[in-house]
Chain A
Amino acid sequence: MRRHLAILTTVLVLAGALVATAPALAQSKSEIVIGVQCDRTGATQIVGTVLCPGFHDYVALVNSKGGVDGHPLKAMEIDHEYKVPPAVESYERFKKEGAVTMAVYGTPQIYALAAKLTEDRIPGTSPGFGSAAAADGQRYPYIFPIAATYWSQGAAAVEFVKKQFNGNLKGKKIAYLFYDNPAGREPIEVLEDLATQEGFQLKTFAVPPPGVEMGAQVLDIAQRFHADFVIAHLFGGAPSVSIKEFKRVGYPLRKVVSFVWGAAEANIDGAGGFGVAEGYYCMQFAGVGTDYPVLNEIREMYKKQGKPAPKEMASTVFYNRGVLIGALHVEAIRNAVKAKPDSKITGDDVKKGFEKISNFTLGGLVPPLKITSTDHEGGGLVQIWQVKGGKFEKVTDWYAAYQNVVAKHIKESGAKK
C-alpha cells in the first residue's frame, strides 16, 4: 500500500511539473532577469517597504504591455536586511538565475559588490547612495549611480541657498547638519570648496549615530552660530528628529534644505505631520506626487485586474523613486535588446544600454538624465520641493549646479588611486 502511494505521489508531482513548465515552453522569447536587492526588514525598512513595490509595479506594467520587445521581464527580489553577507549571497543567486542587471541597495552593499560586478561584467545601480566617485564611468565601468550623488546634491543645495539670497552668498553663514558616517561626511569637501568660491562661512555639525539626539547641535545652529541657512543630510529617523528640534528652538524651517534621504512623507509624518514641517525644503531625484502618466497607467493596470491600487503609492517620494529605478533598468534593457537583434543580451549589453539613456523622462517623473560611458550619474539633476499647505510643492525644476567643482573632485579621487 505504502509503495503504491509513493508511486502515485511521484506521478502526480511529475505531472504537476510538466503542467507548470508547459506555458514557459509556449513563450516564444526568453525571459530577462533583473536582480533586485531590497531592505524591508532592516535598518532602512521605511524606504524599502515602499520603494521596492514601486520597482515591481513598473516591471509588471511593462510585462502587461508585452514586455521588452516581446521578452517578459522578471524582477527577482531578495531582502538583505541591510547586511553585507546576505547581500553577497543574493548577488550570487541573481547571477545564478541569469540576471543581466542588478539594482543593488545600500552603501556598504554596493561597496562590497563593486569588485564582483566589475569582474562578472554585470551593471549594478546605486541611486542616491554609495560613493560619489562612482559617477566616473571610466574608473567604475559597471557601477551606475543613475541619480544625483552626494557631491552633486551638496552643490545643488548651495546653488539653491544662493538663489534664496538673490545670488549672493558673501558673508552668509551656512550650517551643514550631517549624520556622522562616511555618507554624511562625503559632501563636506565639495561644500568647503564652494564656501571659498562663494565666500560664505560654512560650519559643520555632526550628529552621531543613531541620530535620535541632536538638541545640542540644533540649538548651536540656531542660537550660537545664527545660521542664515541650514543644509541637512540625515538618514533614517534622524530627519524627523531634526524637524522637531528646529521647531522647538524656533528656527524657521523655510531656512532648511534637506538632502534626498530626509525628504519623504515618512520623514515628515515622523516629525508630527505636514503641519509641523511647513516650509521645509527637500531635495528629490525623482518626481513627487501622484500626477504622472506612468502612475496613472499603473493604477489602470490594477483596475483592469480588479484590484485597488497598492497603498504604497500614497507614499509618493519613495514609491516614485522605485518606479524611477525600475524604469531606468528597463530602459537600459530595452536599449540592449534593440542593439542586439538576436536578443541574447548579457551584462555588457545592458551596461551599454545604460550608457545610451538620454531624455527618458516618463512624463517628468525621471529627470532628463544623460548617461554616458564617462558619466554614470547622468548629470546630477535634482528638484527642490517644499512642504506647503499639507503637501509637497515643486519649487524648482530639474537642475544641476557647480558641475565643474563636482567634476574636479571626481577627477581628484580617481587620481588618488
Chain B
Amino acid sequence: MIHRECGVLKTTYEADMALYPLPIARWAVAAVAVLFFVVIPLTLHDYYLSVANLVWIAVIGALGLNILVGYTGQVSIGHGAFMSVGAYTAANLANRLGSPWPVNLLAGGLMAALIGAIVGIPSLRIKGLYLAIATLAGQLIIEWTINHVTFISGGVQASIEVARPRVGPVVLDSQRAMYYFLLCFVVLAIVGTLNLMRSRIGRAFIAVRDQDIAAEIIGINIFRYKLLAFAISSFYAGVTGVLYTYFLGIANYEQFQIGVSIDYLAMIIIGGLGSVLGSIFGAIFVTLLPIVIRYAMEAFGAMFFSPATMLNLIPNLRLMLFGALIIFFLIVEPEGLNRLWRNIRSYFRVWPFAY
C-alpha cells in the first residue's frame, strides 16, 4: 500500500503471490488499520462518520461490481436491483420471522447471488453492450416485481421498516456504532476480494475476461465461471443492500433504482476496472467529490454571488464540476485513479534520482 519498495527481487512463486511483498507493507497495513479503527472514529464528529458510512457502503458495492465487470469482463447494469433483492430478503426475514441480522445478511446475500446467477445466464451467449442491455432488463424486471408483488414489498408503499441491528447488548443506532459495524464488512470484503483474485477462481475470471475462447481451451468451464462471477458479484450487492437497509432502518425500492446501478458503474470506471484499490478509490471519489465541491463553493462562492444566486448555483455548478472532473481524470489516466496512484508511487520509488 503506502510504502517504497526498492530492490524487490522475487525468486519463488510464493514470494510473488504474497499479500505483503515487504515487511514494511505489514506495518503500512497496520498503520492504516489503526487510523480507520481508532483515530478516525474517536476523533471525528458524527457528521463525518456518517459520510464515511456512506463511503463504506459504496465500497462494498463497488468491489462486488468490479469482480464482475473489471475482473470477469461481463458488463452489468443490474447492480442496484441485486442490492434491492438483498435488502427486501433481509427486511422480510427480519419482520416476518424476527431473525437476527447475521442470518438476514447471509440470506440477503445468497438470495441476491441466486437471482444474480439467473440474470447472468444470457452472458453465456452474448457479450459487451448486448449483455449490458440484458442485465438492464434484469434490473427493470426486478424493480417491477418488487414494486408490484406485495408479498415481497410488504404493501403498496413498497417499504419495510427494520429494527436497528444489535451486537450482544449494544444497539447500533449511532453513526459511530454503525461505522464500526460497516467497517468490519468493508475489511471482510476487501480481504475476500484480494484473496479471491489470488485463487484459481480469480485467475479463471481474468482468463475469461481476456479471451473466453482461449480460456475454454485451457480447461476453464465458461458456463460455471461466468455464472459464478455473477453470483459472487451479486452476493456483494445483496450484502450491500442489507447493510444499507440496516443503516437507514428501512428497505425502500426507490433507493435501488437504475440510477444507482449507473452510479456504481461510474465508481469502478473512475476508480479503475479490475483492481481492488480502484474500487475503493472510485467509491470514495464519487461519494465525497460532490460534498467537497459544495464545501468549497460555500467557502468561496459568497465572495462572488448573492445568497439567492448561490443556492441555485451550487447544485448546478456542482454537477458540472463533477462531470468535468470525471472527464479530466479519465483523460489524464484512462485506467482510473488506481493507475494514477500507481504512477505516483512508481515516480517516488526512484525519487529523487529519476534518471
Contacts and interface: CB of A to CB of B under 8 A. Distances in A.
A21 to B, nearest CB: 15
Nearest to A45: B315
Interface string A79-109: 1010111101100110110000000000110
A111 B316 contact: no
Interface residues of B, number: 39
Given A52-B311, A78-B294, A108-B255, A115 B156 contact: no
Contacts of B315: 38, 40-41, 79, 81
Given A40-B315, A78-B294, A181-B254, A92 B157 contact: no
Contacts, number: 99
Given A115-B161, A182-B254, A49 B249 contact: no
Interface of B is mostly: helix
B312 interface: yes
Contact of A112 (B153, B250, B318): B250
A188 B156 CA distance: 9
Interface string A33-52: 00000101100000001001
Nearest to A416: B155
Contacts of B250: 111-112, 114-115
A92 B175 contact: yes
A310 B306 CA distance: 13
A247 to B, nearest CB: 30
A79 B308 contact: no
A326 interface: no
B261 to A, nearest CB: 13
Contacts of B156: 182, 185-186, 188-189
Contact of B46 (A88, A96, A133, A182): A96
A115 B249 contact: yes
B334 interface: no
A53 B50 contact: no
A41 B50 contact: no
A380 B164 CA distance: 32
B159 interface: yes
A242 B137 CA distance: 27
A193 B159 CA distance: 23
B252 interface: yes
A119 interface: yes
A159 interface: no
B291 A114 contact: no
What 6 A-B pairs come out closest when comparing CB atoms?
Answer: A115-B249, A79-B315, A108-B254, A92-B50, A96-B47, A185-B156
Interface of B: 45-47, 50-51, 54, 57-58, 147, 153, 155-159, 161, 164, 173, 175, 248-250, 252-255, 259, 287, 290-291, 294, 308, 311-312, 314-316, 318-319
